[in-house]
Structure 1
Amino acid sequence: MKMMAMALRRITLSPWQTALTALTIPSTTTTTTTTRPHSTLMSPPVVSLDLPDVWPPNSSHFHFPPPINYSNGHRAAVIDGKLIAEEIRSRIGSEVRRMKESIGKVPGLSVVVVGQRRDSEIYVRNKIKACEQVGIMSTITQLPDDCTEEHVIDAVSSFNVDPSIHGILVQLPLPQHLDEGKILDAVSLEKDVDGFHPLNMGNLAMRGREPLFIPCTPKGCIELLIRSGVEIMGKKAVVIGRSNIVGLPTSLLLQRHHATVSVIHAFTKNPEHLTREADIVITAAGVPNLVRGNWLKPGAVVIDVGTNPVEDPSCEHGYHIVGDVYYEEAVRVVSAITPVPGGVGPMTVAMLLLNTLDSAKRAYEFS
């Protein structure tokens, strides 16, 4: 016992590990027994380990490798998500017309929006416009920022039982006072076109299982890679950000495509070093210009999911959108990259339309 105690004293924790321990590990054996009376484990429940991913406010946190010589004039190929999405939407529109002509029905999508966020306004505006263009019927339910969970769940429940609605989308993120998990659980599995239901996410994680819906942004990212001729199998991939909306399902989907995946988050040590080893980088951290040219492996492929509003009085809406990647540095290093805007955003919308169409085909047994 004495030797064990000496060994334990030699263990050193990093500052964030020390903070995490203080937050989640009970200080006495009595407390541990009270908290988990039937457990033989010392580790706490995994949900108690959750901490918000707050990225450092400036790049001084990171240790950059030596600068890359950009003088050779190299420019990456631009992956045109807008063009690819237009091709997909054209096919969706044809299918919607065929459905209407054959059975007199069209797919229906309902969007539930709580509060007012700039990024959410952009997404919803684009989604409704896209629905109109392909012939999908769409509705918006706008709720105030201070509404209760019951109000949101009531709105969702009304669409669950509406046979004309085949897709329900709760625009994320929600205000902090709302339980996001509880609200998403209220969405019918058969209408979960965002793919966030635990059963859809679980089936995505398990080999041999097929989810009813794959989350739209990860699905769009993979479609961009495949249509651009990028080999995924056996490649090293890094996903920056681990949100339930993008980071987590993207990492799961890449694994289903047989990539070797690393997930970078706000507590990762030396993230730039890990990222620079990747053949494929998909970033969804929500931090403007986080990923610099020195983070990237020459010849890598970059999918930038970031849509970060930056104040700009000269723009129509008072801001412009930038990605997580410092684009002008990255294009001189990588082989291919998505622009922001015009990259992943249009693909996310196209995948939402496709999921809604697939849901309606299942509901009407239309093939």
Structure 2
Amino acid sequence: MRVSERFSLAANFESFCIEVLKMAGASITEIEGFGNGRDQGYDFIINTERGAIAVEVKTRSKHNLSYREIRSIYERIHNGSEVHSFKYSLLITNTEVTDSQFEEIRREMPHLIVLDAGSLWELVAGDEKTLRDLQGILSNLNPFTGNSPTTHRSNEVTFRLLGLTPIGVPTDLLPPFLCNDLKAIPSGQPNSSNFENALTETLKFLFDGELTAWSFQQRTDTGMSINDLLARNNSSQGFWKTLREHFESVYVIFEFKNYSNAVAQSQVYSTERYLYRSALRNTAIIISPKGLNENGQKAARGALREHGKLILSITVDDVCKMIAAKLNGDDPSIVLSELLDTMLMKIER
């Protein structure tokens, strides 16, 4: 590939990135002299709530960016600018950055953000035309690439930092709380309401339609017990169908335990009292930061083995996996199916 052709393709990629970032909601300041080869140490600026972020776009046709090249870009932006002082910088590249490189960058250059080919793919995947344009540009820059990314890291935190919304994704298809939002809720009683509210909205995002008639803080007929969340199981497929047909669970209870420690067996026994096969309410799902402790797990298996009552424990990390599955177009209940399989295989005689 001739030098002039490489320069033209690189300029085309940079222009494409600017347009994509604008489509995703970024506020951009283009540098005077853009496109004429003038080296500013960075190519343009993204204006965010956290301040201005310097952006450098780098293309490669035969190999990925090396760690040394990335370090050089980082130092030039943060140490060499005489006009701006940037807290964060952004590197955009047409190549894919490996998982090990990402970890090293995060550790050694904490103020450098990276959008590689896989990140751009995630950003534009909801818009068919823009995705085709990206595929074409990536293939032109590096033949035999551009069909699909080989890495599948979630970029939700990066997009949030940059003020970006994935292109072509309706807002009602985005989660009400991102994974980091859920993990940022402090454990303990003072934050239990925030924990419950955030998880309730997230469950509705994940399963609304399959589960209906959501009822928050449902009191039983005796008035002695209050369920955190109750939903009707209307699903005719997958995990929820299994609950209906094999565990007689037309209704599912969700219990939120925002505990600093793992949930103990006494809380499992308390949840078990809410379950009644005759009321078609035979499954409870306990959501907590750290899951059940060893005795709590034994109590849950004992409830299933001795009374046929299913008490499934999921953590915030499991909820994050379900959010990622949903955003990738997969069935989030697969995570629940795997947890159920694991539990069933551990049932003692």
Normalised to the residue count of structure 1, the TM-score between the two structures is 0.29
Structure number with greater Rg is 2
Which structure has more strand as a fraction of its residues? 2
